[in-house]
Structure 1
Amino acid sequence: MLICSALLVSGCAQISYYAQATHGQSSLLAAARPIDDLLLDPEVDGKLKQRLARVKEMRQFAVQDLGLPDNASYKNYADLQRPYALWNVVATPELSMQPLQWCFPVAGCVSYRGYYSKDDAQDFAASLRADGYDVQVIGVPTYSTLGWFKDPVLSTFIRFPDGEVARLIFHELAHQVVYVKDDSQFNESFATTVEEVGVERWLATHSDEKTRLLYADLARRKKQFVALLLKYRQKLVENYADDVSDAEKRTRKKEIFAALQNEYQTLKVSWDGYAGYDRWFAEPLSNAHLASIATYHDFVPGFRALLREQKDFADFYRAVIALAALNKQERDQELTKLAAPASAITHAGR
């Protein structure tokens, strides 16, 4: 009863969810050991030591060159003995691209619900599907606690290529600089901008030609894949907004997803069979697969333009904090306005 009273804001039905979240976060932190200790431990695998030493360099670069927080995050390492840190559940109505929102005391309202157990995520997804929602369950290699805890480097991403490891660390640290409750589009586009520019600078000064070419290939494929998803997301948005029957919308929906599958297979041929995005298609395609893709990319042009206007990252962060103080409509308008000149130049050059 005391627990229920404490959680009246979110309801007693949330108790089991918060319990698994608390246990999952606690277990993750309990598994963490200082990287400096691991580097001195003769029992630790040599290849892992090399990766951890590389992370130390990335962490120092994040502070010195990107102005990111110099705190205890990413100075410990945890072997989770599972493929992902957690599994996110994303859901939308059958004929809408607007994702469901779940609200939490610290993070505010977000368009996903995370589980530390894949089975728990699948169970929740099944309940949503039974209610008629489109659902995706996607594994997540890491996440940020926004500075509330000492976020560790995880086994779920430590063996990724250098550029990918740096990208994840820079992205999650950026969330500790600026985070606006209830505005995932602002938060994720800002962190994506920091990660992209950060990795560009990291690779330019801390890697060899082979590593830079490898990351360039990864970045090129990612850009093409995101463009593909945004293209078909827009087709779905237009379909659901059209003045036709729901039956017609359902028919078109199937056709759009079939076309997406076909175009993805064609794209893979140009990648010489690279299959890194196949897991994204592990479940039947649905609105939920495309609902959040714009969240991470829509405002990146605006943030990049804002960064170009500033003397350094410290000034950039101050400008972003000023934007964060505006209401959502004003933030969106400012970022759209900032992106407009770059967009005009791009179109003029075509």
Structure 2
Amino acid sequence: MIRHDRLFLSRGFALLTLFLLGGCSSIDYYSQLASGQWRLLHAREPVAEVIADPNSAPALREHLIKSQQARAFASHQLHLPDNPSYRLYVDIGRPYVVWNVFATGAFSLDPVTHCFPVAGCVAYRGYYSQGAARGEAALQRQAGMDVYVSGVETYSTLGWFDDPILSSMLSRGDERMAALIFHELAHQRFYVKDDTEFNESYANFVEQEGA
């Protein structure tokens, strides 16, 4: 059994309870977060098994072999967490795992923040469906906000679960894939609640130095 799976139900129910304390208007949003994360966890398979499977596409096997070289470098040379994260794989069948919606007041540089029990306050809301993200963006624009929607190749659960390599991480080459592994493991190593700017700057620095 993959590490942390035995804790998924207890943690999942605890987190969902905390999420729903925000009110009934939040139920749909947090339900899609919970179901999207569950689908990813349920679909994970060890990278070593995918590489060993003769039915795996040769290009995929080559990408995953290189991903494990980058994964070993991350822990041995960059001193990032040495755990099962990014030693698992999921084919998500789409170009992005989530779409983030960023909003500011008209002509403002200060983002609207959204607060969550684990991640703290961040400058976006994430959706596993592009359509749902576009719908939220349309509502924000109707309210007079400036809005930007961005597809995201991967994200970190900050060590709560064993994060997998996603097929969306492979589309822009092995260097980009390695950089994403470094970036997301950096979030597992150090994360400051309520400070998106610092967290992303720090992870970008680790990513660039690692690359």
- How far the C-alpha of 1:157 sits from its partner, in A, is 1.6
Q: Which residue of 2 aligns with 1:148?
A: 160
1-side partners of 2:192 and 2:21: how far apart?
20
Larger Rg: 1
1-side partners of 2:170 and 2:183: how far apart?
15
Candidates 171, 182, 186, aligned match of 1:159: 171
User: What stretches of structure 2 of length at least 5 have no aligned partner?
Assistant: 1-15
- How far the C-alpha of 1:185 sits from its partner, in A, is 1.5
Q: Which residue of 2 aligns with 1:88?
A: 100
Instruction: Judge conservation of contact 2:100–2:149 (CA < 8 Å) in 1.
Output: yes
Candidates 46, 54, 58, aligned match of 1:42: 54
- How far the C-alpha of 1:78 sits from its partner, in A, is 0.4
Candidates 109, 132, 137, aligned match of 1:120: 132
2-side partners of 1:8 and 1:81: how far apart?
30
1-side partners of 2:39 and 2:179: how far apart?
25
User: What stretches of structure 1 of length at least 5 have no aligned partner?
Assistant: 200-350
- How far the C-alpha of 1:67 sits from its partner, in A, is 0.2
Instruction: Judge conservation of contact 1:75–1:152 (CA < 8 Å) in 2.
Output: yes
Q: Which residue of 2 aligns with 1:13?
A: 25
Task: Say whether residues 1:31 and 2:43 are aligned partners.
Answer: yes
Q: Which residue of 2 aligns with 1:56?
A: 68
> Deviation per CA, 1:148-190, whole angstroms, max 9, x where unpaired?
1111001102232222111111000000011010011111111
> Deviation per CA, 1:25-82, whole angstroms, max 9, x where unpaired?
1111222110011111111111100110000100000011000000010001100001
Letter in structure 1 aligned against 2:123: S
Q: Which residue of 2 aligns with 1:236?
A: none
> Deviation per CA, 1:116-150, whole angstroms, max 9, x where unpaired?
00011011111111111011111011111101111
- How far the C-alpha of 1:96 sits from its partner, in A, is 1.0
| Greater helix fraction, Structure 1 or Structure 2 | 1
Q: Which residue of 1 aligns with 2:182?
A: 170
1-side partners of 2:40 and 2:62: how far apart?
22
> Deviation per CA, 1:272-302, whole angstroms, max 9, x where unpaired?
xxxxxxxxxxxxxxxxxxxxxxxxxxxxxxx
Q: Which residue of 2 aligns with 1:98?
A: 110
Distance 1:52 1:8, change over 3 A: closer
Q: Which runs of 4+ in 1 moved over 3 A?
A: 4-9
Q: Which residue of 1 aligns with 2:144?
A: 132
Relative contact order: is structure 1 or structure 2 higher (C-alpha 8 Å, sep ≥ 6)? 2
Instruction: Judge conservation of contact 1:85–1:142 (CA < 8 Å) in 2.
Output: yes
Candidates 107, 114, 126, aligned match of 2:119: 107
2-side partners of 1:102 and 1:176: how far apart?
20
Secondary structure class of the residue paired with 2:169: coil
Instruction: Judge conservation of contact 2:20–2:30 (CA < 8 Å) in 1.
Output: no
Query: Number of paired residues?
Result: 196
- Aligned-CA RMSD value: 1.4
2-side partners of 1:10 and 1:48: how far apart?
42
1-side partners of 2:174 and 2:106: how far apart?
39
Secondary structure class of the residue paired with 2:170: coil
Secondary structure class of the residue paired with 1:77: strand
| Percent of aligned pairs sharing the same letter | 51
| Greater strand fraction, Structure 1 or Structure 2 | 2
Question: Equivalences for 1:165-244 in 2 at 5 Å?
Answer: 165-199=177-211
Instruction: Judge conservation of contact 2:154–2:166 (CA < 8 Å) in 1.
Output: yes
Secondary structure class of the residue paired with 2:186: helix
- How far the C-alpha of 1:14 sits from its partner, in A, is 0.8
Letter in structure 2 aligned against 1:182: D
2-side partners of 1:157 and 1:73: how far apart?
14
Instruction: Judge conservation of contact 1:102–1:111 (CA < 8 Å) in 2.
Output: yes
Instruction: Judge conservation of contact 1:51–1:159 (CA < 8 Å) in 2.
Output: no
> Deviation per CA, 1:256-275, whole angstroms, max 9, x where unpaired?
xxxxxxxxxxxxxxxxxxxx
